[in-house]
A and B are shown apart, each in its own frame.
Chain A
Amino acid sequence: MIADTIILVCIAIGLVFNTLGVIGILRFPDVYTRLHAETKTTTFGTIFLSLAVIVYAISRLLSDGDAQFLTLSVHTFVALIALAFTNATGAHAIARAAHRSGQVPSPAVIDRYSEGDA
């Protein structure tokens, strides 16, 4: 019974943060703010959705004693680790590529990153 409540809260948090990330992509003015909004909030929301699946698998494991739910929780955890690492690295690569392709943030007046390069 308490597991159902935890699962509902986790799903609600995950969906709210994913929705905020998509709103950020649609509303923000330039590529750096869009990237910031998308990466952080979407990764956080997906972590909570996976947490809901892990709590569900552990509750079924404790009530039924079926060993396949242990496999479900471990594999979901591995997918979560892979997603967290690849999202952070990919966001850094996109931001670096956008800066090297010549884009500047929209109200920017000084660019210390390219001064450091030169």
Chain B
Amino acid sequence: MTDIWVAAVVVLVALIVLTMVRLIAGPTVPDRVVALDAINTLTVAAMILLAVIYEQIIFVDVAIVYALLSFVGTLFIAKYIGGELGQ
């Protein structure tokens, strides 16, 4: 049963590496922010699955903190791109 969880995490990390193609190739900055958002979501999913693999319950709390803090970074970059940050 553990092999199934590990295989799922390997697929998620492979998807993260594939998403970095859009980070490098993206012609404009909003494309790169979309790649950042996708990598955030996939990383939170990988962290939740890794907590089951290691059988440590405290590991899930890292995923909660990560999901809330990555939102701050995304919002800050979006405010700067939209020109709403003031000068």
Contact = CB atoms under 8 A, between A and B. Distances in A.
Are A and B in contact, CB atoms below 8 Å, in the complex?
Answer: yes
B33 to A, nearest CB: 5
Interface residues on A, range: 35 or more
* Contact count band on B: 35 or more
B86 interface: no
Interface string A38-77: 1100110110011001001000000000001001100110
Contacts of A98: 30, 81
Contact of B34 (A7, A14, A38): A38
Tell me what chain A mostly uses at the interface: helix, strand, loop, or mixed: helix
B30 A19 contact: no
Interface in B1-38: 1, 4-5, 8, 11-12, 15, 18-19, 21-22, 28-31, 33-35, 37-38
Interface of A: 4, 7-8, 11, 14-15, 18-19, 21-22, 25-26, 31, 34-35, 38-39, 42-43, 45-46, 49-50, 53, 56, 68, 71-72, 75-76, 78-79, 82-83, 86-87, 89-91, 93-94, 96-98, 100-101, 103
